């Protein structure tokens, strides 16, 4: 488990999976996150947990990559409300750290 700060500059051997609980809001952040897996010619898997409010970010990522990511809808895991994600300061702090990383 890591933030976007850990997405760059770390060489973590044998990472087989990256699971994005929060979809990054920029394509380059996504590339750096999923780049922790499949290094040095190894295969890796990236899984994105996407809710309806993440659609814009997902489209930005796909545009940045120049491809559409495959979608697998999982029965029984649909959100019950329009935006049932809990709001917290942590998301704001994560985005702030990510913006600071650009500077």
Q: What does the block give as tokens for 65? A: 């990559």
In 3D, which of 33, 12, 11 has the Cα closest to residue 22?
Answer: 33
At 60, the pLDDT band (50, 70, 90 cuts) reads very high
State the number of CA atoms in the 13 A half-sphere of 5 facing the CB: 8
Q: Which domains does the chain have, with CATH numbers?
A: 4-71+83-102 (3.40.50.300)
Could you report the per-residue pLDDT of 68-101, keeping only the tens digit for each? 988 887 777 665 555 555 554 444 444 444 444 4
37 touches 45 (CB < 8 A): yes
What does the H/E/C string look like for 58-86? HHHHHHHHCCCCCCCCCCCCCCCCCCCCC
Structure tokens at 21: 């609980």
Q: What is the mean pLDDT of residues 42-70?
A: 88
Per-residue pLDDT of 40-52, as tens digits, reads 778 888 888 888 8
């Amino acid at each position: 488990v890591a933030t976007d700060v850990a997405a760059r500059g770390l060489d973590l051997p044998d990472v087989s999976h990256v699971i994005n609980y929060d979809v990054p809001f920029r394509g380059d952040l996504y590339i750096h996150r999923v780049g922790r897996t499949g290094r040095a010619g190894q295969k890796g898997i990236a899984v994105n947990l996407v809710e309806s409010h993440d659609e814009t970010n997902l489209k930005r990522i796909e545009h940045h990559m120049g491809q559409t990511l495959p979608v697998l809808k999982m029965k029984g895991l649909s959100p019950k409300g329009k935006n049932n994600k809990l709001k917290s300061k942590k998301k704001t702090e994560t985005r702030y750290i990510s913006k600071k990383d650009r500077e």
